[in-house]
Structure 1
C-alpha cells in the first residue's frame, strides 16, 4: 500500500512539474511579442481629399460651397503635427464656372497651388480646354496629374509621370507611400472628341493591377489609387495591391471596404461634389520589426456647416480676390455682334419661343451634332442687346456653369416632352394674363425652347393632343426611331421630363456659355439666320395657317419681377450617400489583422489550468481515501 502511495505521489509531482514548465513555455511567446511590439513604429499620415469641385472655388452659402480659402485652412489644421500628409483630388476641378472658363482654368490652378495639392487624376471635364491646356494647368498648379492608362499613339504615357512616391522617416524607419491614378475609359466619350484626339484610354482594371504591383515591387508599403470612374467599388474590387481608393465622378459620399481577388480588403472613398464636402482620412500605418505594415483608416467628412468652424486662409482669399478683379477685364472682351436684340425677358421665354431660345439651341446643335436641342426657360437669365456682345453678356444669359449633355430619345418620347411643355406654357400664359405674380406655376422654368425641329401645335386641343406635327428636316418624327437630343445637365435630370431624366447620357460637352460664345463668334449673319427661325408654330386642326405668336410686345406683368421664380444660383441635388459609420461618427476600416500571438498564449494558459485542476483533483481524491 505504501509503495502504491509513493508511486502516486511521484505521478502527481511529475504532473505538477510538467504543468508549471509547460505554462512557462507557453508564456515565452508573450514576452517575445511584447519585445517586438516595442520595436514597432506607427506613422500618422493625414490625407485631404476632394473630387468633382467643378470650379466651385468661392464660398456660397446658398449652394453650400465651402470655398478654397476655407478648404486651405481645413487642410492645414487637419495635417498639423502629422508624420506625413497628402492633399489629393479625383478630377473635374478646372472647369465648370465662369471664374474658371474666362481664363481656361488658370484661376483654379493658382488656387490649387496655394492650397498645397500634391496630385490629382484627370476627370472628363478637365479636358474641356483641350489636352495640351490640361498639362499646362498641371504645371501652373504645381500638381502631378496621374492618369497612367491614358496613352499617346506610340504607347507612351500622355502625362509626364504615372506615380507619386512619398517617403516618411520616423524612429529610424521609412514608410514609403505610392500614389497612382486611373481614368475610366468611358470618360473619353464624355468630352468633346477633339479634346482627346490621338489619345487612347486603356483598360482601367488591367492598368491598375499592373501599376499597384509595380509600386509594391518598388518597396511601397502603402498604395493609394486616384480614380475618376463609374462604379468605383466595382473597379476597386477587381484590383489587388491597393490599400486606399480615392474616387470621383459619381457625385456621392462614399466610405466603404471591398474584398479584392486575393482576399485582401481595400478602402474606397468619395467626397461629395461642388466642394460641399471635404474628406479627411487618418492613415495609422504601424510598421513592425520585420518591416510589415498594418494600416487602419478613419474618415471624417467635413460638410459646409462643419466647415464654418474653420477660419479662411487669408493668403488664399487674397489670391481669390485678385483673380476676380482680373476677370472683370476679361468680362469686357468682345466676342461678336448681334444685328437684333435677343429676347431673354423672364416672362417671354416662359410663354413662347424667342429668338434667343433659337440661338441657344442652335449653339448646342452646332457643338454636339445632335438632331434636336432643348433649353429650359429657367436656364436663360438675361437678354442680349443689339450690337456688340461681350463675354459678360453671355455670362448674364447663362450664369450657372451648366454643361451640355446628349441623350437618345424616341420620337414618341420627344412628342410627350413637347406636350408637357405646352401644359406648362398654358399655365404660364394664364399667369401672365392675370397680372398676379403668385399665379405663376412653380415649374414655369421648365417650359422648353426648342431647336432642330419645327413644331405645329393647337393649344385649344385636349391635353395630350395639342402637338399636331413635329418635323426634322421636313420629315415627321418617327415614333419608334431614336434621335440624339442635346440639353444642359440641369434639364437632363428634370422631374418634369422623366423619360429624359431616365435616358443614359451618351456624351458630355463644354459649359453652356462656352458653346454660346462659339456660336456668336461665327458672325452676325449666323445670329440673324438663327434668330429669324419659327420653331414653334401655333395653328389649328382645321387650318394649317399659322396663328400669330402669343408672345406680347408688352407683357402684362413687370418685365423684371421683384422676386424671380427661379433662384439666381443653381440649386444642387442632394448628394447620394453610401456610408458606414461607427458609433463615434467616423468611418473605420482595417486592411488586415495584426499577428499578436495572443491566441497561442491563451491556449497555453488554458492547458496549464486544466492540468493544475487535474492535479488538484487527484490530490483531493487521495486525501479522501486516507
Structure 2
C-alpha cells in the first residue's frame, strides 16, 4: 500500500511538472449603448452569449477559464433600452455571466439613483477606482477585484475617463473623477501583491492614431496609460468606439477595444505558466447574422423590447398649442417647435448658443398629449448634441453663411441664445444673451453632430474644438418637454430677423 501511494505521489508530481500552461479566454465588449437586440444583419447580446457559452464549454474541457468584461457605456442609445433605464442591458449581461464592468461616462446620463438601481439589477462589480466621493474620500464603487483561478489569479482595476466632468457633469453631485494615471499608480502595487496578471478595465479612449478631443479638462487615454505605467499586462478599453481588429502592444502592454453598439465582441486568449503570460493571441469577432442567438437571452430581452416599445407611447408632456414642424415652414422661418428644440439644447448642455438645421426637423406635434414616439417622429435621425468652442468671429462666419441660404433648404438655421438681423446676405446687430457679440471671446455653442461635422454646408465648423455629448437630440427634447410639463404657448418670434428675404 505504501509503495502504491508513493508511486501515486510520484505520478502526480511528474504530471504537475509537465502540465501545460493554464488557458484563460477573455471576452470583452464596450460602448454597447442600449444595443441589446440584434437585427437580421447581426449584432446583439444574444449572439455574443452564444460565442461566450461555446468557449466556456470548450475551455472547461482543458481545465481553463473564461473571463467576460465590459469597458463601459452600457447606457444611452436605443429608445427601448433608454425608456427602461437600461435594465434589459444589465439583466442580460448578468445572465451572460459578466464578471465586471468599468463605469463609462454615459453611466452618468441620469440621476445617480438610476445608476444605483442598475447596480442592484446587475449583481456584478461596477469598477471605478478614480470615481470618488469628494466629501468622504475614496471610491464610490469597487476600485478593483481579484479573480482567483487556482493556479493563477487576475487583478482587474477599473478607470473612468476624466472627460466625464465635462461631458456628463449634471449628476455627479458630490462625486468626481480624479486623475486616472495617478489613481492607477496608487492601486497598482496593491493589486500586484494579490494577482499574477493585471488588467486595467478602462473607459478612457484610444487616440494613438490621432483624433484626440479638444476639451477643457485634462484627461488620460489608454495609449498614454500603456506608455507611461509599468506593471500592467492588459488594458481593455472603451469610450472612443475604436475598432482594434487585433490588439495593439504599447510598452509591452496589450491594448484592446471592440468598436461599439454590440456589433462585435473581442476575444483574447492567454496562456499562463507559473503566474506569467507565456503566450497570447487576440481578435475582434464580428457578430454576424450566421451566429445563432442564445435562446434564453433572446427570449427575455425580446420581452423587454416589447415593454420598451410600449414605453414609447408614454406621455412625457402636454401642449395646448400646435407645435409647427412642417417642412416648408422650418425651411423658411423660425417656428414655435424649432425655438423649443433649440431652447432645449441649451437647457440640456448649458451652452451659450444653440444652432439647429431646419432639415433635421421632420414633423409637427398636434395639440394634446406628447409621447416619446411623437418626439422621435420630429427628430428621427438619432443625432447627438455636439458642443463646440467658437469665438465670436467663428459664430459670425456661421451666421453669414446662414444668411445666404434660400428658403426651402435644409440648412435653414434656427438658434437660441442669439439674435441677429439679416440684410444683404450678411448678419448684423448680433447679440448673445442680450449682449453684443465679442469677436475675440470664446463661446460654448451646441449643435448636432451632423452640423458640427460640416453637414448642410456648415463646413466652417468641421474640426473646431469640441466634443460629442452623445446625448440624443430626441432625448434632450423629451427631457425639456417633461421639464416644462404643460406647454400653454411657445414663442415663434424670429431670432434671426430677415430684413430682406433671400429667395
Residue of structure 1 in register with 2:401 after alignment: 420
Residue of structure 2 in register with 1:502 after alignment: 463
1:242 to 214, 223, 232: 232
Q: Where does structure 2 lack aligned partners over 5 or more consecutive residues?
A: 1-13, 206-220
Residue of structure 2 in register with 1:186 after alignment: 163
Change (3 A) 1:400 1:85: farther
**Regions of 4+ moved over 6 Å:** none
2:270 to 256, 273, 283: 283
1:95 to 38, 57, 76: 76
- Per-residue displacement from partner, 1:523-546 (whole Å, max 9, x unpaired)? 4775623x3321232213xxxxxx
Question: C-alpha separation between the residues in 2 aligned to 1:201 and 1:176?
Answer: 28
Post-superposition offset of 1:201: 1.7
User: Aligned-pair RMSD on alpha carbons?
Assistant: 2.6
Post-superposition offset of 1:401: 4.3
TM-score of the superposed pair, with normalisation by structure 1: 0.69
Larger helix proportion of the pair:
1
Mapping 1:175-574, distance limit 5 Å = 175-191=152-168, 193-218=169-194, 220-230=195-205, 231-254=221-244, 255-259=247-251, 265-285=252-272, 287=273, 291-304=274-287, 307-423=288-404, 425-426=405-406, 429=408, 445-458=410-423, 461=424, 465-495=425-455, 496-505=457-466, 508=469, 510-523=471-484, 528-529=489-490, 531-540=491-500
Post-superposition offset of 1:357: 1.1
Residue of structure 2 in register with 1:59 after alignment: 38
Post-superposition offset of 1:163: 2.0
Aligned length: 467
Greater length-normalized contact order (CA 8 Å, ≥ 6 residues apart): 1
Answer yes or no: is the 8 Å Cα contact 2:148–2:154 preserved in 1: yes
Post-superposition offset of 1:105: 1.9
Post-superposition offset of 1:176: 0.9
Residue of structure 2 in register with 1:581 after alignment: none
SS in 2 for 1:360: helix
SS in 2 for 1:164: strand
TM-score of the superposed pair, with normalisation by structure 2: 0.85
Answer yes or no: is the 8 Å Cα contact 2:452–2:461 preserved in 1: yes
Answer yes or no: is the 8 Å Cα contact 1:48–1:75 preserved in 2: yes
2:20 is aligned with 1:41: yes
Post-superposition offset of 1:168: 2.2
Answer yes or no: is the 8 Å Cα contact 1:372–1:485 preserved in 2: yes
Post-superposition offset of 1:94: 1.6
Change (3 A) 1:344 1:74: farther
SS in 2 for 1:521: helix
- Per-residue displacement from partner, 1:338-379 (whole Å, max 9, x unpaired)? 122112234433343332111001011122222110123343
Q: Where does structure 1 lack aligned partners over 5 or more consecutive residues?
A: 1-34, 260-264, 430-443, 541-546, 551-626
Question: C-alpha separation between the residues in 2 aligned to 1:77 and 1:447?
Answer: 53
Question: C-alpha separation between the residues in 2 aligned to 1:526 and 1:337?
Answer: 6
Residue of structure 2 in register with 1:117 after alignment: 98
SS in 2 for 1:77: helix
Answer yes or no: is the 8 Å Cα contact 1:56–1:65 preserved in 2: no
Question: C-alpha separation between the residues in 2 aligned to 1:128 and 1:342?
Answer: 27
Post-superposition offset of 1:54: 1.5
Change (3 A) 1:111 1:376: farther
Post-superposition offset of 1:110: 2.1
- Per-residue displacement from partner, 1:552-595 (whole Å, max 9, x unpaired)? xxxxxxxxxxxxxxxxxxxxxxxxxxxxxxxxxxxxxxxxxxxx
Answer yes or no: is the 8 Å Cα contact 1:47–1:280 preserved in 2: yes
- Per-residue displacement from partner, 1:505-531 (whole Å, max 9, x unpaired)? 3683743233222322344775623x3
- Per-residue displacement from partner, 1:464-497 (whole Å, max 9, x unpaired)? x433443224433222222111123343333543
Answer yes or no: is the 8 Å Cα contact 1:51–1:247 preserved in 2: yes
- Per-residue displacement from partner, 1:305-339 (whole Å, max 9, x unpaired)? xx223111122221222112212332232222212
2:123 is aligned with 1:158: no
SS in 2 for 1:157: coil
Post-superposition offset of 1:178: 1.3
Answer yes or no: is the 8 Å Cα contact 2:396–2:427 preserved in 1: yes
